Every structure is written in C-alpha cells, then in structure tokens.
Amino acid sequence: MPIKNRFAELQPEIAEWRRHLHENPELLFDTHETSAFVEEKLKSFGVDEIATGIGRTGVVAVIKGKTNNSGRTIGLRADMDALPILEATGLDYASKTPGKMHACGHDGHTSMLLGAAKYLSETRNFDGTCVVIFQPAEEGGGGGKEMVDDGMMERWNIDEVYGMHNWPGAPVGSFSIRPGAFFAAADQFEIDVEGKGGHAAKPHDCIDTTLVASHIVVALQSIASRNVNPVEQVVVSVTSFETESKAHNVIPQKVKLRGTVRTLDDDVQDLAEARLKKLAETTAEAFGAKAVVNYERGYPVMVNSEEQTEFAAKVAINVSGDCADAPLVMGGEDFAFMLNARPGAYILVGNGDTAMVHHPEYNFDDEVIPAGCSWWAGIIESRMPAA
C-alpha cells in the first residue's frame, strides 16, 4: 500500500486547509474556530456521525465501512491546538494572531486526518468502523485525558487507537516507531524559597534567597547524576528563577523556581519527586531559609502496545518502504491517556530539514501530507480489510 494516488490528488486541497489553520491558531481548549472548521469539513465529507464538545472542544466523527462483520472499531487521533509563541517564519500564511503559532505541526496533523477522513468516507473499503478524533489542548492542557474522561472510548466502543506526530530532522514522509515506553512522563514543580531580605551591602544581616535558590538549582542536578541508575532516564530542568525584587541593591525576601521533571519509569518518577522535595527543603534549611515545594504530576509515560506497534510499522513500510527504530523521547505527549485506556500505537513521520518543533521559525512541510494520509488510511484498510 504505497502512497495513494488519491492523496497526491488531494494534497493541494489539504495543504490549503493546513495553511488556513496555520493562519488562525488557537490555544489549549480555546479551539472553537478550529473545531468548527473541522466539523464543517467532516459534514461535507458525508461522515455517518459527528459529535462536538467531547473533552470541552474536541470533535469526534464516525465513518462506517461497507461491512461490519469484524465488529471492530478503530480510533485515529490528531491534535488541534497551537502554542503561545510569536511566529518568525515570514510566511504569507503566518499567524494572524501575535503571540500564537502552530509551532508543533498540529495544523498538519489535523489536516492530514481530515484528508484521511475524506478518502475513507469516499471509499469505505473496510470492514468495521473508523472513529476520527480531533483533540484540543495537547500542549499542556490534558485534552486527551478530558476526552477519555468524557467516556469517548466507551461511547463509540473503540478497540484500538493510533496517533501520529511530525518529526523535524527525519526525511520527509519517512516513519519511525518503537514499542513500549516512547514519550516521557512530564511533571512540573514550583519551589518557593523564603529567607530574610535586606540591603545588598549588608548580606550578613540577611538570609540571601538568591544564594539559597542557586544552591537548590545545583543540588537538583544530583538527582540525575547521583540518585538514578545511569541506565535509566531522567531530566530535571529548572526553567524559571524569579526574585521578588529587580533592584541592584536589594537582597530579596522571596525567590520562586519553576521547572519540569521527565521520566520513563514509574519508580524513577517516584524517586525523582521524593528527592526533589528533600533536596530543596534541606538545602534551604542549611542556610536558615525555608523552601516549600509544589510538585504536580502531568502527562504519564506514553507506552506503545507491542502488537499494535508492529502492525503500525508494517503499514508505514507499505507506505514509504521503511520504518526506522525511533529514539526515546523525553518530551511529553498526552496521547498517553488514550493509550492507557486502549491498546494502540503512536508513530513519527519525517518533516525534513526544518526548524525543530516549538521554535518560532518552525513550519509543517506540506510535502508530508500524502505519506501521512496514506498511513492513516492504511491503518483502517489493513486492520479491518474489506470482507
């Protein structure tokens, strides 16, 4: 099942959809215009059922095959939301909303799944039911969890679910995947450090929170270097250091640290959380200060099911001729919630030599569209072959 001619024909139209979405980015659950656009297209394709408001602003559509002897239902998921980034691409179709940008390619994911939905609605050359899932709030909002919590899997009796993400640096239209743990659990923390503020010329009369917080930042790096087994993965990154004073001659009373912890194993996640709290609190105490830690668990580890990963790779090989072994990724992905609810797999499709995702100069490559759409369609037609 190589790239389908129909998707080569549809590529300019799908690219137009993608560029419209790129011009009109929306964040988190505030994807009202994007969801309406998706709903309008699905209606024009003649799908059998459309439901909106799933997971607040998610859209779900049902496409029935010519037959349903298998009784099987497969879900295909694309994310719709953008990022709070000021675009710097200079494209003719750049974001019309300053400070919002499709910097992760969700415009491409949504458009490719729409393209696959159009084709599958035309052909219906499969035995079973296809459910296409358009999800809001992947970028930190947990839209995948909300759609699952809304009963999506049970309402449409979804047996398996598949997802896709573009991957800059890999050849356009190439694929890679791995079974088991794939994307990391993504936790976040805040540490409030309080000491004794005062005049910068009299540090001996103060408890310097800037110094204390700096020692905490350094101490937290020992979690990866001295607490976790070197063959296991953990990332602890302090990403924000805020003092309550911006003056040159003031030692601040309070400092706030923010950051993230990424792990690929539940035990390592537990260890990292415990050590982070202990190191912050005891380091501050050693200086006579106080540290209060707020640690929040975010997206869980995203785990590909063995059987579905093998199948997804075969479909990718049929499309592009190859499917590479994907690396472990320490980024988070809330498709993890759907894979916790049902077996399935998540695959990467090459976006070529472009800026990395979450970069202000990133752009989804429209040449990826035929390969991505062909993989979506191949999942349905190969997993549920026509009787």
Q: Structure tokens of 356?
A: 């990395």
CA distance 118 to 41: 8
Check 26, 87, 138, 265 and give the catalytic one. Answer: 138
CA distance 32 to 170: 32
Contacts of 170 (CB under 8 A, 6+ apart): 176, 324, 348, 349, 350, 351, 352
CA distances from 378 to 119, 153, 180, 186 (A): 11, 21, 22, 31
* Three-state DSSP state, 116: helix
Give the pairing type, strands 160-167 and 344-350: parallel
Check 81, 127, 139, 333 and give the catalytic one. Answer: 81
Contacts of 299 (CB under 8 A, 6+ apart): 142, 183, 185, 186, 332, 333, 334, 336, 337
Buried b (16+ CB within 10 A) or exposed e, 287-321: bebbbebebeebbbbbbbbeebbebbbebbebbbe
CA distance 118 to 241: 48
Question: For residues 193 and 208, is the Cβ–Cβ distance under 8 A?
Answer: no
Give the pairing type, strands 73-79 and 324-325: unpaired
Q: What share of the chain is helix, strand, coil (3-state, %, to 5)?
A: 35, 30, 35
CA distance 194 to 379: 55
Task: Identify whether 138 is a catalytic site residue.
Answer: yes
Task: Identify whether 208 is a catalytic site residue.
Answer: no
Enzyme catalytic residues: 81, 138
